[in-house]
Structure 1
Amino acid sequence: MSDDTRPTGGGERGSGPARSVRIAFFDVDETLIDSKSMFSFLEFHLADPDQYRAAAGKLTRAARAGVPREETNRAYYRNYAGMEQAAVAESGRRWFARERQRDGFLHQEVVRELRRLQAEGCQVALVSGSFRACLDPIAEHLGADHMLCGEPEVVAGRYTGEVRTAMIGEAKATAARALMDRSGARPEECVAYGDHASDLPLLTCVGGAGVVGDDPVLAEHADRFGWIRLPGTAGSAAVAQGTAAADPAAHPSASSSQTSETPPAPFTSSTEELTHATR
């Protein structure tokens, strides 16, 4: 389900009867991490530059044709049709282990903000159009309490290629409201952080917000409402993702990168389009 609240490794905090529940909602890609997890992970998992380039190219063409981002998000998950959920999850753990070795993968200023809120007793919810295979290791590392994300359909232990809810735009706010309602949290006491205009519904459904980077739509709202401003990620939308699509002959293959600690080279070919299409 898209608003899954199973523990992700951090456990539940603030459970005392006299303590009100506060939740801090964090977008993930280019907010907590410096890359687009869906594509960085897809390239890593496929371990085939040509196959990745074909998949990325198909999504890029759809974005250029004006296909709604909810549909391109769904199209992304068709790349996993027939794959074993457990195998993809294990690949996600290997992907995270590699990415953690790369300087800048975790956006330290935003992570410090998350730690500050945890120390104040806030529960943390990660909110992303990505999915658990690559998000669970991040959530466990950060001690997040809830995960609101895309949930690909699984039948008999294998992905079908379909996804129940595209966790994009207004869907993020809907899932956040549902979690606050279930948890007894007052929206005006909760906060949210994001980097892209598509995060605006999430940021405006709570009492406080933080803007990461310089998205003009979010910057305007931050100035108007006095939201927190945090710097953008160092490589925002151009780090550790899509290297095979950029120039597979110029970089090590994804299969070799699974066993190497050398981070992939930046990719700028169509990453911004892919980001816009699927987040």
Structure 2
Amino acid sequence: MVSSPHEAMHRIFQEHPDLFSRVSEVLGVDFGPPTSVTVLPTDRPTDLTEARPLERRVDTLLRLETEDDEPLLLAVEAQGKKDPDKPASWAYYASYLLTKYRLQPILLVVCQDRATAEWAARPVHFGPRQWPLLTLRPLVAGPHNMPVITDPAEARKDLALATLSAITHGRDPDIGAILKAVTTALQDAPDAVKNPIIEFISQGLGELPAAALWRKLVAVDLSFYKSPLFEEVRDEGRAQRAAEDVLAVLAERGIDVPEDARERISGCGDPEVLRRWLRRAVTAPAAEDIFVVD
């Protein structure tokens, strides 16, 4: 199953394709800003399926036009862990794309942990050791080489790069300062700029502990922001307060609350259900009675 972090790490290049030129600059490779970008293909996106029952799909595929160089194909892969089968798949992507589009392909792999990033960056040789036939050398962006952006002014200059920085550094000890820099930079940004970035970071952090911090920063620093994430944060706040009210009423009445009942109340995220339990908590003879279905 494809995870939200996986999606965010490659789809940001569809929304901000000029980000590749900034990432490549950080990596010490000169790819100028594109003059035009096309997401390929349009009928079955990034489908590299063979005639045999074997399906291969690159995560994001872009055709980049530049002023000085010939067009190139940028394949972006999000990689969450080491996979010994991946280098062969990546080599297949490159040869397939070269054959199909007659354009030079380049592969960018985006990772969230250093060990995976360093593994992905190693050149892989195909063929006998006496005479290797092919060498795979992807560009790799990850916590080992993406900038740590903690200055709001720096984040404001390049919000797309700051977003990628936040996603790739999701496990970094400085993630709080990184996320704070982004919310500070976004405070004066128009909704058309602000909304997608907040959603990308929310998806990119997935279930990492930093995701909870991001949601709090969005609620506090961007309190007027309206989005699915904002609504989710608001509903979670309501649910937490309602759960606390249920437990407080039971405690005031001297009703013992077993641990499993306490966990069920505290873990409920539905404010409507909690309101029903709160009404029952006023008269229920036992904590378990608030859960009885009418």
TM-score when normalising by structure 2: 0.25
Alignment TM-score, normalising by the size of structure 1 = 0.26
Decide which structure has greater helix share: 2
**Relative contact order higher in (CA < 8 Å, ≥ 6 apart):** 1
Look at both structures and tell me which one has the larger radius of gyration over its CA atoms: 2
